[in-house]
Amino acid sequence: MDARLRDEAVGLMRDLVRVDSSNPPGRETPAALVVKAYLEANGVACELVARDPDRANVVARLPGRGTGPSLALLGHTDVVPADAVDWTHPPFDAHLDDAGFVWGRGTCDMKNELATRCVVIAELARTGFAPAGDLLLISQADEEDGTDVVGMPWLLAERPDLRCDYAIDEGGGVRLELADGRVVYTLQVGEKATLPATVTALGEAGHASIPTMGRNAVPLLAELIRRLDAHATRRRLVPAIRGMVEALGVDPDRDLAAVAAEVAALHPAFALEIDALLGITIAPTLLTGSSARNVLPGRASVGVDCRILPGDTEADLERELAEALGDDIPHEVRLDQGITGGTESPLGTPLHAALAGAVETLEPGAVLVPQLSTGFTDAAFVRQAFGTVAYGFWPVVSTPLDVYEGGMHNRDERIHVDDLGTAVALQLDVVRRLLG
Ligand SMILES: [Zn+2]
């Protein structure tokens, strides 16, 4: 690690954290201007691209020699809101403590990553690096909310020249020590898709003073919810999770319950997620019953958060819901909107190899383990728009895992400064391997 580059990235991250870009409402332009000023001061050509002048995106480019692939480094400027009363240090002060942690909203998600990516492209420009293909830096607004369509989906539609072969975004890079002593780093290669549904129990309205009058839909719904909660969905291995299982040294071609148990035993982080990565998940969350306490409703419904695997269809979810609900209680199932997300980049690409090589340099013997996110990142838009191979990777080594994950979208978000130094060094290595 180069202490000078670490401190440069820490300084830029602290400048970004001090700009409150909480979304909603966003207003990311002041953060975009911090990025632009830094890049231009270091000789990187840069432009703001905005649909809404208060919510600018940043695009920078180090032109390639034209002989190789292009790579985009991504980083959103918005953050989720923070309530200062909950925090040990104010969330927009970027306080640096004696132990080397910078506290503040966005220090893990993802002004840390953005700052290191800016330093990477700046350092390459300063040292006269001429990439084989274009090296892009895209810093987009509105990742956390997305309702206004001013960030990545708008930007990519507006600017087809941002087409790139490879991209690195947020998500993976977490260092895990397995139960058997091996060390792995996660590589996020895709995400599950959301496909929200509503299940409505159909009864018959009546006066609540005589509950046997009519057929109260609420207890019917209660039984349907119990069935949804108890249902075990089919398990299958998508390519990313097959890659994960193989990278962990577990034989994937067996009963998947045994595979899941073996993976879960390797680390609590895998134990938490493995079931959700092997199938559709169904979580009943939003309740609607009668609009008046003294009326037995004829209809009662539950909004259900459903997440499907890449490649699953609406019919796959409908089949699982039908099996869960049975046919003895009258009900309706409605899919509320289409499939969102569910993209997956292939493994074994030159970017995968470059990251694996850089991880080996960082920590000899450590293994890169593919992973799917159960959430969503803007990498999905890049995969969908251009067929880009996009991975999430930013090494988290010096910040304890519970601190890192505990602060994400939560109080007391903080990052150790050495992780910024490690991230700059590793990403410089990746760029040189891929575009050198
Ligand atoms: Zn993020």
State which H helix or E strand residue 114 sits in. helix 111-126
Residue % of the chain over a pLDDT of 90: 97
Tell me if 168 sits within 8 A of 73, measured CB to CB: yes
Structure tokens at 409: 């979208």
Count other C-beta atoms under 10 Å from residue 275's C-beta.
16
Burial string for 29-55 (b: 16+ CB within 10 Å, else e) reads: bebbebbbebbeebebebeebbbbeeb
Tokens of 205: 């309205």
Please give the share of the chain, as a percent, with pLDDT higher than 70: 100
Mean pLDDT value of segment 23-49: 97
By the 8 A CB rule, do 87 and 400 touch?
Answer: no
Burial class of residue 263, CB neighbours in 10 A (0-12, 13-18, 19+): buried
**CA of residue 425 to ligand 1 center, whole Å:** 21
Rounded to the nearest angstrom, the distance between the alpha carbon of 80 and the centre of ligand 1 is: 9
**Residues within 5 Å of ion ligand 1, judged at the Cβ atom:** 109-110, 170
CA of 17 to the centre of ligand 1 (A): 14
DSSP H/E element including 46: strand 46-49
Residue with tokens 């895992």: 401
Predicted confidence at residue 16, as pLDDT, reads 98
Rounded distance from Cα 224 to ligand 1 centre (Å): 35
Distance from residue 7's CA to the centre of ligand 1 (Å): 22
Q: What distance in angstroms lies between residue 215's CA and the mean position of ligand 1's atoms?
A: 47
Task: Identify which of 337, 326, 336 has the alpha carbon closest to the alpha carbon of residue 201.
Answer: 326
pLDDT value of residue 147: 86
How many angstroms does the Cα of residue 284 sit away from the middle of ligand 1?
25
**What is the band of 216 on the pLDDT scale with cuts at 50, 70, 90?**
very high
CA 144 to centroid of ligand 1, rounded, Å: 7
pLDDT at 11: 98
State pLDDT tens for residues 229-261. 999 999 999 999 999 999 999 999 999 999 999
Q: Cα-flanking dihedrals φ and ψ of residue 429, to 5°?
A: -60, -45
Q: Any residues with CB less than 8 A from the CB of 301 and at least 6 apart, and which?
A: 198, 199, 200, 201, 221, 287, 288
Give the distance (Å) from ligand 1 centre to CA of residue 1: 25
The CATH T-level fold of domain 193-234+279-339 is: Alpha-Beta Plaits (3.30.70)
Does residue 1 surpass a pLDDT of 90?
no
Tell me the average pLDDT across 14-37. Answer: 98
Centroid of ligand 1 to alpha carbon of 34 (angstroms): 18
Residues with Cβ within 8 Å of residue 190, at least 6 apart in sequence: 238, 240, 310, 342, 343, 344, 345, 372, 373, 380, 383
- Taking the centre of ligand 1 as the mean of its atom positions, its distance from the CA of residue 191, in whole angstroms, is 14
The arrangement of secondary structure in 3-171+377-435, i.e. its CATH architecture, is 3-Layer(aba) Sandwich (3.40)
pLDDT in tens, 321-363: 999 999 999 999 999 999 999 999 999 999 999 999 999 999 9
Question: In the predicted model, is pLDDT for residue 146 greater than 90?
Answer: no
The pLDDT tens digits for 91-127 are 999 999 999 999 999 999 999 999 999 999 999 999 9
C-alpha 32 to ligand 1 mean position (Å): 16
Kindly give the distance from the C-alpha atom of residue 433 to the centroid of ligand 1, in angstroms, as a whole number. Answer: 26
Quote the pLDDT of residue 142: 97
DSSP 3-state of 6 = helix
pLDDT at 117: 98
Cα of 146 vs centre of ligand 1, distance in Å, is: 12
Question: Would you say residue 138 has pLDDT above 90?
Answer: yes
Answer whether 391's CB lies under 8 Å from 349's CB: no
What pLDDT, in 10s, does the model give residues 359-378?
Answer: 999 999 999 999 999 988 99
Is residue 318 pLDDT above 90, yes or no? yes
Domains in the chain: boundaries: 3-171+377-435, 193-234+279-339
Q: How far, in Å, from the CA of 332 to the mean position of ligand 1?
A: 36
Q: Report how far apart the first and last C-alpha atoms of the chain are (Å, whole number).
A: 20
Question: What was the pLDDT predicted at 213?
Answer: 86
For residue 261, the CA-to-ligand 1 centroid distance in Å is 30
| Distance (Å) of CA 269 to CA 178, 194, 227, 272, 340 | 10, 22, 27, 5, 25
pLDDT in tens, 157-213: 999 999 999 999 999 999 999 999 999 999 999 999 999 999 999 999 999 999 998
Number of H helices, E strands in the chain: 13, 20
Tell me how far the alpha carbon of residue 377 lies from the centroid of ligand 1, in angstroms.
Answer: 7
At residue 166, the pLDDT reads: 98
CA of 111 to the centre of ligand 1 (A): 9
**Cα-trace Rg, the chain:** 24
User: If you measure from the C-alpha of residue 367 to the centroid of ligand 1, how many angstroms do you get, rounded to a whole number?
Assistant: 24
The domains spanning 3-171+377-435 and 193-234+279-339 adopt the same CATH topology: no
- The tens digit of pLDDT for each residue in 219-231 reads 999 999 999 999 9
